[in-house]
Structure 1
Amino acid sequence: MRRNLFLTTIIGGVIISLLLFFSYAPAKAAIVKKPKVVKVTPKTGAQGDTIDVTITGKNFADTPTVSMGNGITVNTVSFVSATELTANITIASDAKKGPRVVRVTNPDGKKSQPKSIFRVTKSTGTTTTTTTTTSSTTTTTVPQVTAKKTTEDLLSPSAAGWANITASSIQTTGNPATGGHGNVGGESGLVPVKLQAAHDSTNIFMRFEWNDSTQNNTHEVWTYSASSSTWSMEGNEDRILMAWPITDIAGREGKTFQQIGCAMLCHLKDTTDSTKIIPNTTDAVNDCSVCHPNSSGKDTTFVHPDVPESLEDDCASCHGGQDREIEEIADMGSPAGGAFDIWHWKAGRSDPINLAEDQVASDGGMRTNDGAGLTSNNDGPTGFTDRPKYIWTAASGKGASPSTEIIKNSEIANLVATNMLATVNATDGKYYLSNGTTEEVPTDGAKVRRRILKDGTAIEPGNGDIKASSGYSGGKWAVVLKRKINTTDTKDYVFKTGASDINFFGFAVTDNSGNSHKAKNLLKMIFEQ
């Protein structure tokens, strides 16, 4: 009896110990698996076709990217589930026949093993162009976005109504022939953009969401160095640009906006200054080696500084006229007789006043503001333009965080009067408080924004039409642009809202840059009735 009791006690103790071990053993960290591609339907596509393909596999995440090899452009990617994606692709008419590797990349950077499971076949002599929406299959040549009907003001990116509108995952590109250089040095960093659209009886709403590891919203910041007693200036911002054709006249390569989208606005000749623009030739568009021999005809290896040694100090050899900076060359312009509405959201210069800059390219000229712009410059007077006009004083407690230390036009007088800002003297270049005699000496590393934001009545008519609201969280931007369907301004695009009407547009996003953009040059939008 005593022995049985002893054995029972021992066995019970072992069982309890095992239960405690498994109950309290630390859980293993979840393993994030790579996506896996199993098959593609259909398995083939003919040269020149634009078709939908279904990619089946597992471990797919929302907003993935898809690549299908040379000669195939992935227009859009729609996340259906962790085991299914739908992609709309265009096969170039001169794409090489044969197998193509299909690869899926999740937002965390994990990639599927490349699988050669799709084949490009010979053109049938007719062009197939299809895309699948949630309700039907329609014939189209470009990705389509539907502006859904709403009765809610959707200006906020977190407005409840956005949850009821399916987002299109638009894959941006870096090819200049299809919308932009993307990253200088190749197509790394290209991002899928979630795009949603809605409309009420008066307004159009456009919501953009994309991954960006850094929030850049301090365009041009003055910084003081006490050791050299000098000011320097640097900084840029994240942006969205959109283009809408008001009057669609053929531009670059003799193509209209409806044919190649906003790409037709790039590098056009400015009738007022012929020295600013890259040669408007087919070769310069399709073969970067015309100006950049190192590229071997491929824009994915394009590196701007790597040009023949004889040309390194003379942009004029390729760009014509006198020597020019790249910022003066790479801009959008209108062909003679054309007019194009440009929406330009800027994280540092327009978003803090809840607007996007309203711009226009027309009458053979370059892009300009529809009005006088949304900012003025915080620059010193003649003789002292190497420093800011206003600086934060020690008493203000500011001068270290320019991302939040915004200066608005309507606030300057009060900030100066209360000695929050000191003003540079036009005679000696020193800074003084409001009494004009007490000197304010800037400290080492002191910072102040160069751009003063206009607000209230300082915003000219024509440049306050595009309302904006944004949010940045978890390495991701969400931005909504809102504008009237018809502003009655002749410099603004008038949206077509009929059942059979199509609105063509293109867009780009940038990462801390005004030049290196990730773009989708041509899309179309219809209005839900």
Structure 2
Amino acid sequence: MTNIMENHEYNFLWEKIYNQYLQAIYCSLDKNRRMKKYFIIFLLATSTTLLLYCTRKDQVVLSSSADSNTLVSYKTTTPPVIDGNIDGEWSKATSISVTPTVPDPGNNLFTGYNGETYPATLRSMYDDQYIYFLLEYADSTKSVNVAPWYFNTDTKLWAQEPTSRTYDVNGKLTRQGHGEDKFAMLWNIDFSTPKFISQTCYASCHVFTPYTDFSVNPPVSQSNAGSGNHYTNGASEKIDMWWAHLSRDVLFNQMDDNYQDWAGGPGVTNLVGGSGNGRHVDGIVVSGANSKWPYSPSYTTAALQGASNNRQSLKLDGTGVSVNVPLWIIPDASSYYYILATDTLPGGKAVKITGVSSTGVLSYNGGSINPNVGTDYQRAGDAVFGGDGAKCFPGYIASPLVGGRADITCSAVYTGTGWVIEFKRKLRTDDTLKQDVDLSGLQDQQFGLAIWNQSNNQHGIQPNLLLKFQR
């Protein structure tokens, strides 16, 4: 069953009044058969006109959603403060309960997480300029320390924790993941992606795609991609992706604004097994086409922003094999999970690692770190579920988002038992590249929601949600 979603919902109200009016006239003419005949002709003509009007090209036909999947955005004159504290005004907004569930794509992408659920509630408000959201969900652990560096006493090498759970060949868990809590929302930009109407999140997730791998000679047929990269199914199709990293973005009260596009289409992405990635940060655009395999489009580059890996390669003792070590550290700091980009500037708190010995000793201008003394730089506690020493180093360097990536304001508070996340975005941004969904028309909008729990790739998905605006 479908509903015709008019650009302005008052058309439905007028249609209802119109039908009631005709019914009243019809009843009053019941005794006059001749006039009743002319009335029926009039009714058919006007109904046909109304039907043509309600199906004109500037309208969007969407599948109706169950009330449990429909989020009604409350019209407010008192906008909430985006600080992670729940203002009283939120009590006027009706919440919906969702249960993002980790699927089994059939290619081992989500192994060890399949079937996990992350129940959450979601509320929304809007005013003349912004739309606001409040997301709440239980989480027994605050996971913000992403891939920290530790010293492996067995190999005498520095290493980073895995961002997802690792398993041995028998499927036994060998190490808990040190990934990040985060969430995302997907939106259909200008209703450009037809599959989004029925599939929402899954409209661009091509984990099942079979392909021919032309990177080898002769080419080899592969059953599926083995990865979860996103791309749409047509050159004009785009999806808006709001992506909140609850360790790095919220340091600056931000949420990362991305988009997804065609990436050259299945004709390209199938050749590389789905590794053709249509997910990009806002602000970059196609700049040309590669002349060599896999012939995917090339894109402009973005300004340095967001998070970058705190990693470099140095030779052991200056002349030996190359190994990975931290790039920047803050000497003697404890329990820190990020380094600000500003800390790496002259006069900042961070120092650059310039050397590593065969025993793991790190050198920097003015000092050194010996990880063999004590356990501050080593894994601590249980081998599978344990953490890391108090002075282990962060895995990334953080800087604020700029330009189109900075359209969304976000604040997240971990309560000890879960997350309270508030975020807002302009109903219509300053975007001119068709990389943002335009909500200013207050049309019904389908969307999907995803939640990650201490993982890099693996996430629960809640598709087929519908946003409606209270008038």
| TM-score of the two chains, using structure 1 as the length reference | 0.55
- Quick check: 1:219–1:349 contact (8 Å CA) kept in 2? no
Q: 1:194 to 1:350 in 2, by over 3 A?
A: same
1:148 to 43, 50, 74: 74
Distance 1:516 1:261 in 2: 18
| 1:164 corresponds to | 92
**5+ unaligned residues in a row in structure 2: which ranges?**
3-62, 162-177, 212-219, 264-276, 284-301, 316-321, 379-390
Per the alignment, residue 148 of structure 2 pairs with 221
Residue 198 (structure 1) shift: 0.9
* Residue 226 of structure 1: how far off its partner (Å): 4.9
Asked if 1:350 is matched to 2:249, the reply is yes
SS at match of 1:386: strand
Q: 1:218-297 residue pairs with structure 2 within 5 A?
A: 218-226=145-153, 228-234=155-161, 235-249=178-192, 256-267=195-206, 278-279=209-210
Q: Following superposition of structure 1 onto structure 2, how do residues 40-55 of structure 1 map, counting pairs within 5 Å?
A: none
Distance (whole Å) between structure 2 residues aligned to residue 183 and residue 481 of structure 1: 31
2:345 alignment counterpart: 413
Q: Structure 1 pair 431/182, CA: closer, same or farther in 2 (3 Å)?
A: closer
CA shift, 1:422, in A, is 3.4
Q: For 1:181 and 1:146, locate their aligned partners in 2 and report how far apart those are by CA, in whole Å.
A: 34
- Contact 2:259 2:436 (8 Å CA) reproduced: no
RMSD between aligned residues: 3.2
Question: One-letter code of the match for 2:124?
Answer: A
1:382 shift after superposition: 6.0
Question: 1:194 is matched with which residue?
Answer: 121
User: Would you say the 8 A contact 1:149–1:198 is kept in 2?
Assistant: yes
Q: Secondary structure at the match of 2:404?
A: coil
In 1, are the aligned partners of 2:446 and 2:467 still within 8 Å (CA)?
yes
Q: 1:318 aligns with which of 203, 223, 239?
A: 223
Q: For the Cα contact (< 8 Å) 1:497–1:527, is it kept in 2?
A: no
- Answer yes or no: is 1:388 the counterpart of 2:326: yes
Taking only the aligned residue pairs, the percentage that are identical comes to 21
Note the C-alpha offset of 1:194: 0.4
Q: What per-residue deviation string (whole Å, max 9, x for no partner) do you get for residues 432-484 of structure 1?
A: 4445xx444345424111210013xxx33121111110111142111112111
Q: 1:174 to 1:358 in 2, by over 3 A?
A: same
CA distance in 2, matches of 1:237, 1:351: 12
* Shift in alpha-carbon separation, 1:432–1:229, aligned structure 2, 3 A: same
User: Structure 2 CA distance, aligned partners of 1:474 and 1:510?
Assistant: 17
CA–CA separation in structure 1 for the residues paired with 2:191 and 2:210: 21
Query: Is the Cα contact below 8 Å between 2:328 and 2:344 reproduced in 1?
Result: no
2:408 paired residue number: 466
3-state SS of the aligned residue for 1:204?
Answer: strand
The alpha-carbon distance between structure 1 residues 232 and 198, as it changes in their structure 2 partners (threshold 3 A), is: same
Distance in 1 between residues matched to 2:258 and 2:441, nearest whole Å: 26
Are 2:398 and 1:453 equivalent residues in the alignment?
yes
Q: Is the 8 A contact 1:360 1:367 kept in 2?
A: yes
Change in Cα spacing, 1:181 to 1:424, as seen in structure 2 (3 Å) is closer
CA deviations 1:381-405 (Å, max 9, x no partner) are 4655511111232xx3x24x23xx4
Aligned to 2:295: none
Paired residues of 2:181 and 2:246 also in contact (CA < 8 A): yes
One-letter amino acid of the counterpart of residue 397, structure 2: I
* C-alpha displacement of 1:191: 2.8
Tell me the equivalent position of 2:430.
488
Closer/same/farther in 2, CA of residues 176 and 340 from structure 1, 3 Å limit: farther
| CA shift in 2, pair 1:228/1:172, >3 Å | closer
Match in the other structure for 1:422: 351
**For the residues of structure 2 that align with 1:256 and 1:208, how far apart are their CA atoms?**
26
Q: Is the 8 A contact 2:99 2:462 kept in 1?
A: yes
Q: Do the aligned residues in 2 keep the contact of 1:167 with 1:196 (CA within 8 Å)?
A: yes
User: Helix, strand or coil for the counterpart of 1:504?
Assistant: strand
1: CA distance, partners of 2:351 / 2:197? 52
Indicate the SS of the match to 2:189.
strand
How far residue 366 of structure 1 moved from its aligned partner, in angstroms, is: 1.8
Q: State the shift of 1:348 in Å.
A: 2.1
Compute the displacement of 1:200 (Å).
Answer: 1.8
Give the equivalent residue in structure 2 for 1:41.
Answer: none
The one-letter code sitting in structure 2 at the alignment partner of 1:335 is N
Q: 1:158 to 1:421 in 2, by over 3 A?
A: closer
Which runs of no fewer than 5 residues in structure 1 stay unpaired? 1-47, 50-138, 269-276, 281-314, 321-325
Asked if the contact 1:357–1:463 (Cα under 8 Å) also holds between the matched residues in 2, the reply is: yes
SS in 1 for 2:241: strand
Distance 1:527 1:391 in 2: 48
CA distance in 2 between partners of 1:410 and 1:166 (Å): 41
Q: Please give the alpha-carbon distance, in whole angstroms, between the structure 1 residues aligned to 2:156 and 2:329.
A: 14
| 2:149 alignment partner AA | W
8 Å contact kept, 1:374–1:463: no
- 2:74 partner letter: K
The structure showing larger relative contact order (alpha-carbon pairs under 8 Å, at least 6 residues apart) is: 2
Q: 3-state DSSP class of the match of 2:439?
A: coil
The CA deviation at 1:522 is: 1.5
Map Cα deviations across residues 396-431 of structure 1 (whole Å, 9 max, x no partner): 3x24x23xx4311112225xx47x533222697964
What amino acid does structure 1 have at the position aligned with 2:399? K
Alpha-carbon separation, structure 2, partners of 1:256 and 1:385: 45
Aligned to 1:331: 229
Matched, 1:368 2:255: no
Other-structure match for 2:138: 211
Amino acid at match of 2:350: L
